[in-house]
Amino acid sequence: MHALSELIEHAEKTYGRAINYSVLDKEEYGILVNRTDKFLIKVFLQPHVVLIGNPSDWTKV
């Protein structure tokens, strides 16, 4: 988790703005997807920058 914090801090400096992020494991993510969680819907509908991973993988739970 420390490495992620460092990556986020570096990205915040690079982009010149705060980055709001959430860390979910596969199980937590699957639960949110299965119940059509409002948080995930908001995340998917708003513009975002992906720092780690590939958005096309988000549906492969």
Question: Is the sign of the CA dihedral 43, 44, 45, 46 positive or negative?
Answer: positive
Task: Give the whole-angstrom CA distance, residue 30 versus residue 27.
Answer: 5
**Angle CA(50)–CA(54)–CA(58) in degrees, nearest 5?**
100
Write down the pLDDT at residue 27.
Answer: 93
Write down the pLDDT at residue 2.
Answer: 87
Write down the pLDDT at residue 61.
Answer: 61
pTM, full prediction: 0.60
pLDDT in tens for each of the 61 residues of the chain?
A: 788 899 999 999 998 999 888 888 989 989 999 999 998 888 888 887 777 778 777 767 6
Write down the pLDDT at residue 35.
Answer: 94
